């Protein structure tokens, strides 16, 4: 056997695990809001010869020869993103969402500088200044949250913290927030204290591209995002910014933080940006939101407490306190029924983060299979049945069979 033989020959163990993961992604309902099915064309680009090329630097100014094709790939990715989102500049080299955010800190802050972001317990991301993250350890991070009465972003708290601490950066955007983000309101607060507003649209970049969520462009001078969530591209990151911030951002990514860009990923971002300009994508993004609304309504109809009473985007947060089921128990029972979600803290949670009160759901992957509101109604009914009886193995087994049958009617793209 040659080491250059195909995967099934050189490593049957890994080959087998990938086959099984393909089957899992085909046969189960994937409701984790940060996940999706990347386009088949994106997967092709990620596994291509672009993987083999080093290209430190930027197009036209590389530290290696042989960039005849790579510059073209990176320029297409940049130009398409600039056109799609209507921004001056795009950097497509961040390895993922977290490194993109770290590059933003590095572009504008010194260690110890004040920054302001949404707290993790309210739905913010680790990288927005949470204490266990480098963003909370290396910077003087203050955290805003949501209001106790309606669980919406507390803009009075954002404004007062901003005034008190004069942060260099104000982060908006979230990882577990089911409502529209008011970028204009954040921009006003940032302007009042001379902070740069950074909109992290990792979860919603596909919705923003399609126009089903308001755009931060014109409000936030810097926009960061992953490329693999609602955007359906490869695992990667991007930073979009005003011309004034171009130099600082580019320098922070390379040579500040990273070495060579992942060129297969860059090609995948270019492909996803092209596809995000199509009518088919707009229909897809609208379906994500319609599905989320239908699923939230069905769950509420089944007596599930949905945080903020609904969803404007792709994401639903459920508080299972009134159902007397911990989030982890519910998530594990749902997984046995073929419905995959993640347990999650809810705002003002009285339980511990590793054993919280809620579950977090999202519709991007189901919408990518073509499932619509009618299917979400069915899914919501199954979920309610499992949440009401997480130990009822007979019901869970019956639902698991029905889930597989539904999945067979809606092929999973690319797996
Ligand atoms: C997912 C996410 C990130 C981090 O992305 P990774 O690719 O997992 O590093 C950053 N910010 C927000 C808001 C996210 O949802």
Is there a contact between 224 and 237 (Cβ–Cβ < 8 Å)?
yes
Q: Where are the alpha helices (DSSP H) in 28-120?
A: 40-46, 70-85, 97-108
Q: CA-to-CA distance for 300 and 310, rounded, in angstroms? A: 8
Which atom, in ligand 1's list, is nearest to the CA of 99?
9
pLDDT band at 283 (very low <50, low <70, confident <90, very high): very high
CA of 176 to the centre of ligand 1 (A): 11
Which residue's CA is the closest to the ligand 1 atom numbered 10?
A: 97
Q: How many helices (H) and strands (E) does the chain have?
A: 16, 15
Can you tell me which atom of ligand 1 is nearest the CA of 175?
15
> In degrees, to the nearest 5, what angle opens at C-alpha 128 toward C-alphas 282 and 198?
55
Place of tokens 């993961």: 21
Q: Are 149 and 174 in contact (CB under 8 A)?
A: no
Catalytic residue among 28, 80, 179, 229: 229
Kindly report the number of other CB atoms within 10 A of residue 409's CB atom. 10
Q: Which of 24, 26, 27, 54 is catalytic?
A: 54
> Average pLDDT, whole number, for the chain?
98
DSSP E strand boundaries for 201-248: 222-226, 237-241
* CA of residue 291 to ligand 1 center, whole Å: 23
207 vs 213: CA distance, rounded Å:
5
Q: What is the pLDDT of residues 314-369, one digit of tens each?
A: 999 999 999 999 999 999 999 999 999 999 999 999 999 899 999 999 999 999 99
The runs of H, that is alpha helices, within 173-314 are 183-193, 205-210, 246-251, 263-276, 279-301
Q: Mean pLDDT throughout 276-303?
A: 98
Cα–chain center distance at 194: 28
Phi first, then psi: give them for residue 91, nearest 5 degrees. Answer: -110, 120
Ligand 1 binding residues, C-beta < 6 A: 34, 96-98, 101, 125, 127, 173-175, 200, 202-203, 226
Determine the distance separating the centroid of ligand 1 and the alpha carbon of 389, expressed in angstroms. 33
pLDDT digits (tens, 9 = 90+) for 213-272: 999 999 999 999 999 999 999 999 999 999 999 999 999 999 999 999 999 999 999 999
Tell which atom from ligand 1 comes closest to the C-alpha of 97: 5
Q: Which helix (H) or strand (E) holds 358?
A: strand 358-362
Mutate to test the pocket of ligand 1, among 134, 216, 226 (most ligand atoms within 8 A of CB): 226
Tell me how far the alpha carbon of residue 98 lies from the centroid of ligand 1, in angstroms: 6
Report the pLDDT value the prediction gives residue 333, as an integer from 0 to 100.
98
What distance in angstroms lies between residue 97's CA and the mean position of ligand 1's atoms?
4
Query: Separation of 260 CA from ligand 1 center, angstroms?
Result: 21
Looking at the CA of residue 34, tell me the nearest atom of ligand 1: 1
Taking alpha carbons only, the member of 29, 36, 41, 39 closest to residue 408 is: 29
Does the pLDDT of residue 377 top 90, yes or no?
yes
State yes or no: pLDDT of 90 exceeds 90. Answer: yes
Give the pairing of strands 358-362 and 222-226: unpaired
221, 244 contact by CB (below 8 A): yes
Nearest protein Cα to ligand 1, atom 3? 97
Q: Distance from CA of residue 115 to its chain's centroid?
A: 22
Asked about 177 being catalytic, the answer comes back as no
Measured CA to CA, the distance from residue 338 to residue 332 in angstroms comes to 10
Q: How far is CA 163 from the centre of its chain?
A: 30
Over residues 337-352, the pLDDT tens digits come to 999 999 999 999 999 9
Over the stretch 91-121, which tens digit does the pLDDT of each residue have? 999 999 999 999 999 999 999 999 999 999 9
Q: Could you read off the pLDDT of 53-78 as tens digits, one per residue? A: 999 999 999 999 999 999 999 999 99
Which of 34, 38, 96, 97 for a ligand 1 pocket mutation test, highest count of atoms within 8 Å of Cβ? 97
Q: Which pLDDT does position 57 carry in this prediction?
A: 97
Look at residue 202 and give its three-state secondary structure. coil
User: Is 185's pLDDT higher than 90?
Assistant: yes
Distance (Å, whole) CA 333 – CA 96? 31
Output the residue whose Cα is nearest ligand 1's atom 6.
Answer: 97
Distance of CA 247 to the CA centre of its chain: 26
pTM of the model: 0.97
Told to judge if 163 belongs to the known catalytic residues of this protein, a careful annotator would answer: no
Give distance in angstroms: CA of 175 to centre of ligand 1: 7
Could you tell me what percent of the chain has a pLDDT over 70?
A: 100
Is 56 tagged catalytic? Answer: yes
What number of other Cβ atoms are within 10 A of residue 365's Cβ?
27
Per the listing, tokens 């386009």 go with 39
Q: Which of 33, 119, 125 is the best mutation target for the ligand 1 pocket, counting ligand atoms within 8 Å of the beta carbon and taking the most? A: 125
CB 209 within 8 A of CB 195: no
Active site residue 229: yes
In the chain, the domains with their CATH numbers are: 44-275 (3.40.640.10), 287-409 (3.90.1150.10)
Contact 320, 359 (CB under 8 A): yes
Of 27, 35, 56, 88, which is the active-site residue?
Answer: 56
Atom of ligand 1 nearest to the CA of 174: 13
Please give the average per-residue pLDDT across 192-204, as a whole number. Answer: 98
- pLDDT tens digit sequence for 115-172: 999 999 999 999 999 999 999 999 999 999 999 999 999 999 999 999 999 999 999 9
Model pLDDT, residue 13: 98
> Which of 200, 291, 312, 375 is flagged as catalytic?
200
Radius of gyration of the chain (CA): 22
Looking at the chain, how many residues does it have? 415
At residue 358, φ and ψ (nearest 5 deg) are -125, 175
Mean pLDDT along residues 286-294: 98
Q: Is 297 a catalytic residue?
A: no
Ligand 1 geometric centre to CA of 40 (Å): 22
Query: What is the pLDDT at residue 1?
Result: 80
pLDDT range class, residue 304, cuts 50, 70, 90 = very high
Rounded Cα distance, 252 and 28, in Å: 40
Average pLDDT over residues 17-32: 98
- Among this protein's residues, is 290 annotated catalytic? no
């Amino acid at each position: 056997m040659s080491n250059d033989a195909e995967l099934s020959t050189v490593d049957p163990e890994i080959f087998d695990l990938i086959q099984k993961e393909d089957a899992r992604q085909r046969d189960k309902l994937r409701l984790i809001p940060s996940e999706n099915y990347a386009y088949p064309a994106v997967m092709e680009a990620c596994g291509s010869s672009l993987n083999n090329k080093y290209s430190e630097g930027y197009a036209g100014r590389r530290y290696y020869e042989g960039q005849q094709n790579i510059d073209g790939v990176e320029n297409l990715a940049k130009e398409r993103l600039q056109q799609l989102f209507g921004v001056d500049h795009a950097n497509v080299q961040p390895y993922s969402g977290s490194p993109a955010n770290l590059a933003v800190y590095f572009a504008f802050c010194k260690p110890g500088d004040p920054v302001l972001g949404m707290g993790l317990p309210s739905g913010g991301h680790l990288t927005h200044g949470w204490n266990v993250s480098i963003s909370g350890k290396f910077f003087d991070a203050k955290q805003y949250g949501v209001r106790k009465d309606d669980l919406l972003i507390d803009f009075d708290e954002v404004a007062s913290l901003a005034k008190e601490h004069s942060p260099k950066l104000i982060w908006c955007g979230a990882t577990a927030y089911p409502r529209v983000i008011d970028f204009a309101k954040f921009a006003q607060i940032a302007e009042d204290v001379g902070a740069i507003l950074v909109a992290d649209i990792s979860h919603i970049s596909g919705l923003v591209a399609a126009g089903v969520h308001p755009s931060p462009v014109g409000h936030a001078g810097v926009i960061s995002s992953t490329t693999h969530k609602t955007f359906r591209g490869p695992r990667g990151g991007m930073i979009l910014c005003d011309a004034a911030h171009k130099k600082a951002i580019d320098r922070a990514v390379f040579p500040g933080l990273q070495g060579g860009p992942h060129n297969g990923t860059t090609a995948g971002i270019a492909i996803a940006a092209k596809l995000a300009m199509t009518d088919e994508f707009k229909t897809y993004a609208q379906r994500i939101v319609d599905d989320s609304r239908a699923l939230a309504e069905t769950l509420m109809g089944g007596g599930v407490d949905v945080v903020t009473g609904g969803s404007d985007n792709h994401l639903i947060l459920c508080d299972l306190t009134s159902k007397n089921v911990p989030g982890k128990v519910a998530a594990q029972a749902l997984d046995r029924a073929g419905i995959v979600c993640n347990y999650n803290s809810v705002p003002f949670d009285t339980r511990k983060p590793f054993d919280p009160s809620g579950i977090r759901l999202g519709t991007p992957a189901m919408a990518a299979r073509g499932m619509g509101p009618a299917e979400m109604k069915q899914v919501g009914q199954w979920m309610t049945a499992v949440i009401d009886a997480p130990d009822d193995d007979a019901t869970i087994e019956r639902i698991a069979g029905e889930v597989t049958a539904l999945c067979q009617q809606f092929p999973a793209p690319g797996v």
